[in-house]
Amino acid sequence: MKKAIVRLALIVCFSLSFFILGAQFTPDELAQRPQIEAFLKSAEIIRSQDIGEGVTKPIRLFLKKKDEECSGCWKNVKGMKKGYLEGWQYEIAAYDLDKLLGLNMIPPTVEREFDGKKGSLQYWVASEMSDLERIEQGIHIPEEKLDSWSKQKYLARAFDCLIANEDRTQQNIRYMKDWRTILIDHSRSFRSSNEFRKRLVLGKNGLLAQKLFRTLPRAFVERIRALNYDLIKEAVGPYLNKEEIEAILDRKELLLEEIQEMIEEKGEANVLY
C-alpha cells in the first residue's frame, strides 16, 4: 500500500493532465486518488518540523498509518500578512478546482487539524528542483521537453488567471525529473476585489505582468467555459464564499475573451490543441 500511495502521488497527482499528453492515466489510477486524500486526513501525526520558508510559516507533518508513511506541508495562515491577504483554505480550493478542471498539477490537499488548529495539509512533493533553482544553476530545458514544458507553463498561467493567484513565484513552480510541472502555494489566491474582477493577473493586460498563455488544451478551455456557480460551489465546498466564487466567474469571461482574441488573430489550430 505504501508503494501504491507514493506511485499514485507521483503519477496521478503530479502529472500533466490526460488531455494534454493523451491517455496518460488509467481509470484505476485516477480512482485511487481519494485514498491518498483519506490518508492525509486520517493518518497519525508522528512528528512535525518547521520548514523555515515563506511568511506563512508552514510546518512539515510526518504521517503514519500501520506500516505506511508520508509527509505533508501544513498551513493555518489566515488574514493580512505583510500587506497580503492569506488563507489556508485557498490551498484546498485551488486543489479542488485543479481536479474539477482536470489540471492535475497541484498535490493532494486536504483540511487537517494540528495542534488544536484547522489548516491545510498538502502532500509533500519529492520534486527535483524549483524553477528558481533551475535559473540560478543555469540548467536548460532539454530540447525534447521544450514543447511540453511550454504548454505546462501556459496552462499554469491560465489557471492562475482564473483563480487570481497574485503570488506565483519561481520558487513555487516545481519540476520532477522528467520535467513535469508541479504547482504549490496558493494561499494568496481567489481575490474578489474589483481590480481582480475587471483584469486578469496575467495576459496582455495583466495586473502583475504581461505573461501570455499562447496555447492551451481545447478540453481545458471547454471545462472553463462550462463553469457556473453551482459547479464551483459543489467542488470547493466551504472554502470559498459567494463573492469569491462570483469573482471566478467574472475572470472566466475575461479569460475566454482573451483566448477568443488569440484565436481570431492566430487561428484556432495555432491556439488550441
pLDDT at position 27 is 56
- Residue tagged 535559473 (cell numbers): 135
- Residues 92 and 146 reside in one and the same domain: no
Segments forming the whole domain that contains residue 29:
2-123
Has residue 146 got a pLDDT over 70? yes
Report whether 156 contacts 173 (CB < 8 A).
yes
Burial of 56 (0-12, 13-18, 19+ CB in 10 A): buried
pLDDT for res 48: 97
Mean pLDDT, residues 208-215: 93
Residues 115 and 159 in one domain: no
Give the distance, in angstroms, between the CA of residue 159 and the centroid of all CA atoms in the same chain. 8
pLDDT at 196 over 50: yes
Q: How many domains does the chain have?
A: 2
Task: Give the span between the Cα atoms of 57 and 132, in whole angstroms.
Answer: 20
pLDDT value of position 30? 60
Domain boundary among 123, 156, 187: 123
Residues 12, 75, single domain; the answer is yes
Pairwise CA distance, residues 268 & 59, whole Å: 45
The residue with cell 489566515 is: 78
Nearest to 168 by CA among 198, 217, 211: 211
The whole-angstrom separation of Cα 175 and Cα 164 is 22
Check whether residue 110 and residue 148 sit in a common domain.
no
> Where are the extended beta strands (E) located within 42-106?
44-50, 59-65, 68-75, 78-81, 84-87
Lowest mean pLDDT among 11-20, 64-73, 123-132, 209-218: 11-20
Q: What is the pLDDT of residues 219-239, one digit of tens each?
A: 999 999 999 999 999 999 999
Contact 45, 13 (CB under 8 A): no
Q: Are residues 212 and 106 in the same domain?
A: no
Mean pLDDT of the chain: 89
The DSSP symbol for 80 reads E
Do residue 107 and residue 155 come from a single domain?
no
pLDDT at 53 over 90: no
Q: What is the pLDDT of residues 72-96, one digit of tens each?
A: 999 999 999 888 999 999 999 999 9
180/207 same-domain check: yes
Confidence label for 14 from pLDDT (cuts 50, 70 and 90)? very low
Other C-beta atoms lying within 10 Å of the C-beta of residue 120 = 28
d(CA 123, CA 107): 6
- Residue 120 pLDDT: 98
The single residue listed with the C-alpha cell 508503494 is 3
Last residue within a domain, chosen from 123, 143, 177: 123
Average pLDDT over residues 13-27: 36
Asked if residue 142 and residue 115 are part of one domain, the reply reads no
Work out the average pLDDT over 62-66.
97
Q: What is the mean pLDDT of residues 162-169?
A: 97
Dihedral in degrees, nearest 10, Cα atoms 233, 239, 244, 247: -50
Q: Residues 86, 101: one domain?
A: yes
Same domain, 22 and 133: no
User: Kind and range of the H or E element at 61?
Assistant: strand 59-65
Asked if residue 68 has pLDDT above 70, the reply is yes
Identify the residue with better confidence: 12 or 46.
Answer: 46
For residue range 100-137, list pLDDT tens digits in order.
999 988 989 999 999 999 999 999 988 899 999 999 99
Same domain, 89 and 196: no
